[in-house]
Structure 1
């Protein structure tokens, strides 16, 4: 059975953003964050992103070479750099037909 973690094309990185206590957004910070999202998009790094509707916070799914690059990209986000939000980073292995559902299909 092939180990699909060896195929980086099936690994994405999830950045979970959450607000730090006592902090808030302002228009300038939000615009900086959106500009950063556009930068990630132009680099081919942004898969999808958006805020949660049922709880505070948001999520970015990104493409990166490895966990170190994903961490660097997360820490460049103006929300994180400003200390307004913190993040949790997860490596997410996608189960799909192309990888025979992680070799178990």
Structure 2
């Protein structure tokens, strides 16, 4: 299953926190959990798309993100069904 956690800014972030967040993303990639991530350009926040067994695992992954753990960002989580060529864009 795929999940997206949407983050909204609460407090300013610093360079050390950004580095820890990037390390978190690199670890998710290393273990095959990270699908896509990035900041929004038109909204203060960002998103991380992950692969997880269930919503509980996805929530734990989101809560372990240093941005969220620090209280600088809040999050909401959504289940997403990926549409692509392989599934004919869910047609």
Common fold by TM > 0.5: yes
Q: Find out whether 1:47 has 2:39 as its counterpart.
A: no
- Between the aligned partners of 2:5 and 2:31, the Cα distance in structure 1 is 17
How far is 1:55 from its partner?
Answer: 1.1
| RMSD over aligned Cα atoms | 1.4
Distance in 2 (CA, whole Å) between partners of 1:101 and 1:38 is: 28
Q: Which has the higher strand share?
A: 2
1:27 and 2:3 correspond: no
TM-score normalised over the length of structure 1: 0.80
| Larger-Rg structure | 1
- Structure 2: any 5+ residue segments left out of the alignment? none
TM norm structure 2: 0.91
Alignment gaps of 5+ in structure 1: 1-10
